[in-house]
Amino acid sequence: MSMGMNTGSASLNGRGLALGAQYLGAAAVWGASFLFIKVAVEGLSPAQLVLGRLLFGALVLAGIMLATRRRWPRGLRVWSHLTAIGAIMCVAPFLLFSWAAQYLPSGLSSIYNATTPIVTMLVALAILPDERLTRIKTAGLFVAAGGVLLVAAPWTAVADASGDMFFWAQLACLGGTTCYGLGFSYTRRFLRGYPYDAVTVSAAQIGAGAVLILLLTPFIGMTPISITPGIAVSVIVLGGIGTGIAYIWYTNVINAWGATNASTVTYLTPIGGVILGVLVLGETILWNQILGGIIVVVAILVSQGRLRLPRDSRAKKPSRRQTEDDSSLTSPPAHR
């Protein structure tokens, strides 16, 4: 019996280590995604890069759908919603972040990407009737606004070769996170009643996004291409691993740990993005950008009730359903 217990304990420990590795793997891949974008735009236009990563992502997820024998969604109505989500959550933000990468350090882009949960909450408050602005959420929004302001530092003159484009690139990043917020809210409102799991929805929306960017690229992306081994690897990793494999890892962690614990990967991605940008690309990140990023993460913790303000120490603990809904806003999309 002791031997059986030891075997079972070893099995559980092994599974726990595997889940931990998948959690860290997803965080690493998504944190490195902005480094790969920065490398890829050296030889590809933003549209060409988005086309490559969506095609690779669609192929990987289609293979997973086939291997797991999942059924594709059916019906014009659901596909119209999935196509809209593909445009809002894949094509538009990918183009915005890829364009911004031409003028911003990859680490700074990853910091702006960390504002996604806060932007999502703002969008949800505006368009979802069941969303309410609580005292905790209000505090989180104000703290996040301060963090974004500190990162952008509009009171300083940026001595950068890209000049004014530095400012517009930061706005493009915020536009990308706004697209994610719109996409999350759109998904909650229009796909809630459909019997499709996250893998199926992601495969469909990324496939639809790939078709859309394939149609758009002849009009917005016909520039000379320069392919190097680094650029090719960047596109493959962004699409195949970041969109496909890492998403499966993340789904496994959600199933085992729950959405609330799994969503903490959001706090690791900007850390990885900044560190890789400095170590690999030799980027310089200013003190205000680091401090602003930390403030944004604190704002996410406050808005979700994970970091309680002193006056709210006796506040009622949020329901499990509310916690899961809030945490879902921080779950990195498969294509990030």
Of 320, 208, 205, nearest to 258 by C-alpha is 320
Mean pLDDT confidence for 277-305: 80
Do residues 82 and 205 touch, judged by C-beta distance below 8 A? yes
Mind listing the pLDDT tens digit for each residue in 8-37?
A: 555 556 677 888 888 888 888 888 999 999
Domain ranges for the chain = 24-328
More confident residue, 77 or 119: 77
Q: What is the pLDDT of residues 122-163, one digit of tens each?
A: 888 788 777 777 777 777 777 877 887 787 666 554 444 455
Report the pLDDT value the prediction gives residue 286, as an integer from 0 to 100.
Answer: 79
Percent residues over pLDDT 90 in the chain:
32
Alpha helix (H) residue ranges in the chain? 2-40, 46-67, 76-86, 92-100, 106-113, 116-127, 135-152, 165-190, 198-220, 229-236, 246-257, 259-262, 265-281, 287-303, 320-328
Closest-CA residue to 26 (of 293, 250, 292, 315):
250
Instruction: Give the pLDDT mean for 270-289.
Output: 83
Task: Decide: residue 21, CB within 10 A, 0-12 exposed, 13-18 middle, 19+ buried.
Answer: exposed
Tokens matching residue 304? 């979700």
- 280 pLDDT exceeds 80? yes
Sign of the CA dihedral 13, 15, 19, 21?
positive
Report the range of poorest mean pLDDT among 185-189, 206-210, 258-262, 295-299.
258-262
For residue 318 the two structure tokens come to 């949020």
Task: Kindly report the average pLDDT of the chain as a whole number.
Answer: 80
- In Å, the largest CA–CA distance within the chain is 71
pLDDT(63) > 50: yes
How far is residue 207's CA from residue 57's CA, in Å, rounded to a whole number?
Answer: 8
The per-residue pLDDT for 10 is 53
Residue 258 pLDDT: 66
Q: What does each C-alpha distance from 256 to 132, 247, 262, 301 come to in angstroms?
A: 30, 14, 9, 22
Q: Please state the pTM of the whole predicted model.
A: 0.80
Quote the pLDDT of residue 267.
Answer: 72
Give pLDDT tens digits for 98-128: 999 999 889 888 888 888 877 887 888 788 7
What integer pLDDT is reported at residue 2 of this predicted model? 52
Residues contacting residue 296 through CB under 8 Å, at least 6 positions apart: 111, 114, 115, 118, 144, 147, 148, 151
pLDDT above 90 (res 299): no
Q: Of 53-57, 167-171, 277-281, where does the model show the most confidence?
A: 53-57
Lowest mean pLDDT among 10-24, 240-254, 265-279: 10-24
Is pLDDT above 70 for 308?
no
Higher pLDDT, 235 or 167: 235
DSSP code string of 258-290: -HHHHTTHHHHHHHHHHHHHHHHH-----HHHH
